[in-house]
Amino acid sequence: MDMILSLDTAEISEIEEAASWGVLGSVTTNPTLISKAGHANPEVAIKKISSIIDGPVSMECVSTDADGMYKEGLVYHSWAPNVLVKCPCTPAGLAATHRLSREGIKVNMTLIFSPNQAILSAKAGAWCCSPFAGRLDDISWDGLALVAEICEIFRVQEYTTKVLAASLRHPVHVMDAARVGADIATMPFKVFKMLVQHPLTDKGLEQFMADWQHLQEATAAK
Ligand code: G3P
């Protein structure tokens, strides 16, 4: 499977714009992003996002106990078939993941910072796990090395849980995530837009347009 490009945002306008390029395959949200986008009703927001893209849309549980997360997961799952339930990598999160997964509900196990947490997420039956690369970089740890390690372990162990490289902060993170075999890469819209930008593309396009204009003027003058 090729790497899915995902937006880490709850801003509808950003999702609509990225989706219009035809390359957006997923959206991840978290309580911080939903609050930043000012969504008073997360259900309305997630239903809207799920109608824009066919791929996985992650919505995070806010309970901290297993039963609460399980119940929230059932509710999120009822919003749209492509909603992934995000559970944190805690003992309660593992228990909720195990329960939800057994019922066929896809879980994105989040806040992964070590290979052992990723292994536990796979054992609990998570559909994907989210190592946070940027937050490790922030504390002078190599975030992409963790993503690479998890990809290797999952390959060797033949775990079917996917690796979602999260907390990506710049375009090189995205290239590296693809290189080490991440299944999904999620990034803010700012980074998504940077993927397409290149000064030589802008310069080349400017030159082509100017030359075309000269030709039109020269032809009109004849
Ligand atoms: O959504 C989870 C993750 O991508 C958060 O990223 O930049 O807040 O560390 P960040």
130-180 residue pLDDT tens: 999 999 999 999 999 999 999 999 999 999 999 999 999 999 999 999 999
Q: Which residue has the tokens 């969504």?
A: 39
Tell me the pLDDT tens digit for each residue of 38-92.
999 999 999 999 999 999 999 999 999 999 999 999 999 999 999 999 999 999 9
Please name the residues in contact with 146: beta carbons below 8 A apart, sequence gap of 6 or more: 113, 114, 115, 131, 133, 136
Report the helix count and the strand count for the chain, using DSSP H and E: 11, 8
Q: Is there a contact between 165 and 177 (Cβ–Cβ < 8 Å)?
A: yes
CA distances (Å), origin 48, targets 74, 187, 188: 18, 20, 18
Closest Cα to residue 121, out of 102, 143, 99, 98?
A: 98
Q: Which atom of ligand 1 is nearest to the CA of 28?
A: 1
Q: Of these residues, 86, 193, 203, 222, which one is catalytic?
A: 86
- Nearest one of 198, 179, 174 to 7, comparing CA atoms: 174
Look up the CATH architecture of domain 4-197. Answer: Alpha-Beta Barrel (3.20)
Out of 59, 130, 135, mutate this one to test ligand 1's pocket (max ligand atoms within 8 Å of CB): namely 135
Give the predicted TM-score (pTM) of the model. Answer: 0.95
- Asked whether residue 122 carries a pLDDT value surpassing 90, the answer given is yes
Q: What is the pLDDT of residue 222?
A: 82
